[in-house]
Amino acid sequence: MVTGTNQAEKPRDQVSSWAPFAQLSFLVLWTATVVSNIGTWMHDVASGWLMTSLSPSPLMVALVQAATTAPMFLFALPAGALADLVDRRRLLISVMLLLSLSTLALGLLVLFGLINAWVLLIFTFLSGAGAAFVAPAWQAIVPQLVPRSQLQPAVALNSVGINVSRAIGPALAGVIIASAGIAWPYLINAFSFLIVIAALMWWRPPPREETHLPAERFWSAVRAGLRYARASTPLRATLIRAVAFFLFASAYWALLPLIARQELQGGPELYGVMLGAVGIGAVCGALLLPKLKTHLNADQLVACGTVGTALVLVIFAFLRRPDAVVAASLIAGASWVTVLSSLNVSAQTSLPNWVRARGLSIFITVFFGAMTLGSMIWGQTASMIGVPMTLLIAAGCAVLGAVISWPAKLQQGADFDFSSSSHWPAPLVAEDPEPDRGPVMVTVEYRINPERTAAFVEAMQSLKAERRRDGAYAWGLFEDVAVPGRYLEYFTEESWLTHLHHHARVTQSDRHIQDAVRVFHLGPGDPQVTHYLAPEPGAATPSNVPQTGGLS
């Protein structure tokens, strides 16, 4: 990777917001991505507008948005696991090539008049599927493009790039559709993917870190990501807040083509200008966010963004002046980026490195799942009661959702230390088991003062969540009825390989939880740990080996 990382890095508080552009790899890939995103926005505008001609019913127009977002809901989690297991650069190049060919085929069908509503939805779904496999891998390579001290401004610049393309692409699409025809946004987008492919082929990423452990199995990695999300209170809270916003904010995106064409009696130019205004508003909101964060916390920012979005929906329901609607679109963009950025940061701070891509893919799945469901709900509702009334209902539900979900606080993981503790000793074994052999059961025996039972059991609930986050699919705690104060904890994992990865996943914050439990143990020595493997038919390997080391 050709960068300037051999120079002394500035302290974190002196790093400029534009510093990542000094890294050639980041600059090249960022520029290529902006160009490609402009093409993608042109593509999306063309699809929404084309559907109003092929089948102008609100449901069919809303299904364009649903077909775009549904693949992210369906494929983001497997894509996140895949991005952790394979060469991300090759994965991105392969998917980008397929997207280019698919988009070219769609453009040619439109050019020769061979398109219909259902074919358009099929190609829209394929495009969304490609985006689903790109998103986790693309987010995961950012730390490879810049020094660690520049990671935060690099993420911010990626957000700026997305919204710059959002501001340019729709407006450009409106002009091109009106002057050259609706097929050309698709043909231009097909070419834009080739620019990203060229940039990725030029880029030479640093070699991946070597590990002595075999790679996780694909479906095991998917399940591990889901277990982490289920057991992580900070991530669960973020997902709840995401559903409470995106399910209702999706009404704006799903019905925007109809607002431009039917409610405002406008053409593709107006539709493009409205989307461009959203992009400009998002860029302005992103630039104002650092200052807002000095006065408001993440929960308050999301509340303000939700109220702003509800206000925009109300304006769209009542006003029929294009200038007022374009001004409201600026508010919509600023509100959208405020909420999305706050939720994304909350998700990031909830995740250790080993599950980051999978955790973010779960966030993406929930995001697009809510958008997909919302698009279908609001499209069907608009078909029955009209667009204005649907917008008013969505606005009221958005505010109500914010109130109901308020107890789920954001950025609960901001103070967690996710660095590896490496304090678990390696399991003692008579012979190394096969990596895929399992399931594995681990037991930990404690001796405590019976008078402290209530406090001990309460502390064990935090340890239960830690075990499940790091790989256990079952956990239990039992008291010896014959010996007061003797407790046996057990947890089970899919395979010996999963348990070895559990050893590597334990963080400093996990260690603090385990230390809080350890103080209850009276000894002698540390709690006794024993590993058990399910027996194999005809196998002579011992199935358990006691160990008297630390918690594991």
Q: What sign has the CA pseudo-torsion 20, 25, 30, 35?
A: positive
29 falls within a domain: yes
The answer to whether 170 and 42 are in contact (CB under 8 A) is: yes
Q: Which residues contact 423 (CB under 8 A, 6 or more apart)?
A: 506, 511, 550
- Helices 58-85, 218-231: axis angle to 10 degrees equals 110
**DSSP output for 63-81:** HHHHHHHHHHHHHHHHHHH
Pick the last residue of a domain from 350, 384, 404.
Answer: 404
Q: How many Cα atoms sit within 13 Å of 56 on the Cβ side?
A: 8
More confident residue, 54 or 215: 54
Q: Which residues have C-beta within 8 Å of that of residue 302, sequence separation ≥ 6? A: 241, 245, 338, 339, 342, 343, 402, 410
Residue 14 counted as domain residue:
no
Domain assignment present for residue 5? The answer is: no
Residue 109 lies in a domain: yes
358 burial via Cβ count (<10 Å: 0-12, 13-18, 19+): buried
Phi, psi of 242 (to 5 degrees): -65, -45
Residue 1: what pLDDT? 33
Q: Is 421 helix (H, G, I), strand (E, B) or coil?
A: coil
Residue 431 located in a structural domain? no
Q: Looking at residue 311, which CATH number applies to its domain?
A: 1.20.1250.20
Residue 489 bridge partners (DSSP): 444, 477
Residue 185 — pLDDT band, cuts 50, 70, 90?
Answer: very high
Residue finishing a domain among 349, 376, 404: 404
Identify residue 30 by its one-letter amino acid code: W
Could you give the angle at which helices 58-85 and 117-141 cross, rounded to 10 degrees?
30
292 in Cβ contact with 273 (< 8 Å): no
Mean pLDDT confidence for 207-232: 79
Domain membership of residue 223 (yes or no) is yes
Does 188 score more than 90 pLDDT? yes
Most confident by average pLDDT, 122-136, 172-186, 191-205, 306-320? 191-205
Residue 140 predicted with pLDDT over 80: no
Quick one: DSSP state of residue 259?
I
DSSP element (H, E) containing 284: helix 268-293
| Same domain for 259 and 155 | yes
Domain count within the chain: 2
Q: What is the pLDDT of residues 72-126, one digit of tens each?
A: 778 888 888 888 778 889 999 999 999 999 999 999 999 998 888 899 999 999 9
Higher pLDDT, 85 or 33: 33
| Bond preceding residue 435 cis, omega within 30 of 0 | no
The reply to whether 153 falls in a domain is yes
**Which of the four pLDDT bands, split at 50, 70 and 90, describes residue 6?**
very low
Q: Do 485 and 387 share a structural domain?
A: no
- In DSSP notation, 34-61 reads HHHHHHHHHHHHHHHHHHHHH--SHHHH
pLDDT tens-digit readout, 506-541: 888 888 888 888 889 987 788 888 899 988 765 554
Are 464 and 397 in a shared domain?
A: no
Domain identity same for 323 and 467: no
pLDDT bracket for residue 446 (50, 70, 90):
very high
Q: With 60 as the cut, is the pLDDT of residue 551 above it?
A: no
State whether 185 and 297 are in the same domain: yes
CATH number at residue 447: 3.30.70.100
Supply the angle between the helices 151-179 and 24-54 in degrees, to the nearest 10.
40
What residues contact residue 254 under an 8 Å CB cut-off, 6+ apart? Answer: 61, 62, 65, 66, 374, 375, 378, 379
Where does the pLDDT of residue 293 fall: very low under 50, low under 70, confident under 90, or very high at 90 and above?
confident
pLDDT for position 2: 32
Of 345-354, 388-397, 444-453, give the lowest mean pLDDT range: 345-354
In the listed set 382, 404, 426, which residue is the last one of a domain according to the structure? 404
**67 and 191, same domain (yes or no):** yes
**AA letter at 446:** Y
Domain extent for 489: 440-547
374 compared with 69, residue with greater pLDDT? 374
365 lies in the same domain as 449 = no
pLDDT, one tens digit per residue, over 323-356 is 788 888 899 988 988 888 788 778 877 888 778 7
Mean pLDDT of the chain, nearest integer: 83
239-288 residue pLDDT tens? 999 999 999 998 888 888 777 777 777 777 777 788 778 878 887 887 78
Contact 332, 309 (CB under 8 A): yes
Amino acid identity of 331?
I
Q: How many CB atoms lie within 10 A of CB 543?
A: 14
pLDDT surpasses 60 at 4: no
In the predicted structure, residue 550 carries a pLDDT above the cut 70: no
Beta bridge partners of 544: 532
Collect all residues with Cβ–Cβ distance below 8 Å to 11 and sequence separation of at least 6. 149
Q: How far apart are CA 65 and CA 259, in angstroms?
A: 14
pLDDT of 237 reads: 93
Res. 234: pLDDT tops 50: yes
Looking at residue 449, what is its pLDDT? 92
Residue range 27-48: average pLDDT?
A: 90
The separation between the first and the last C-alpha atoms of the chain, rounded to the nearest angstrom, is 39
Q: Is the pLDDT of residue 396 over 90?
A: yes
Instruction: Mention every residue, 6+ apart, whose C-beta is less than 8 A from residue 153.
Output: 15, 16, 17, 18, 19, 20
Question: In this structure, are 457 and 378 located in the same domain?
Answer: no
Neighbours of 183 (CB within 10 A): 21
Please give the structure tokens belonging to residue 316.
């769209």
Query: Quick one: pLDDT at residue 209?
Result: 58
For residues 375 and 262, membership in a common domain is answered with: yes
Give the residue with greater pLDDT, 453 vs 147.
453
And the tokens for 393? 């209902």
Rounded distance between C-alpha atoms, residue 45 and residue 43, angstroms: 6
**Lowest-confidence segment of 6-10, 194-198, 230-234 by average pLDDT:** 6-10
Given the structure tokens 């027996």, which residue do they identify?
A: 535
Query: Quick one: which of 396, 404, 409, 395 has its CA closest to 300?
Result: 409
Shared domain check, 444 and 388: no
In a domain, 424, yes or no: no
What is the side-by-side strand order in the sheet with 474-479?
474-479, 486-493, 440-447, 528-533, 544-547
Question: Residues 382, 455: one domain?
Answer: no
- Find where tokens 């358009």 sit: 120
Residues 444 and 507 in one domain: yes
In angstroms, how far apart are the furthest CA atoms of the chain?
86
What is the pLDDT confidence band of residue 545, given thresholds at 50, 70 and 90? very low
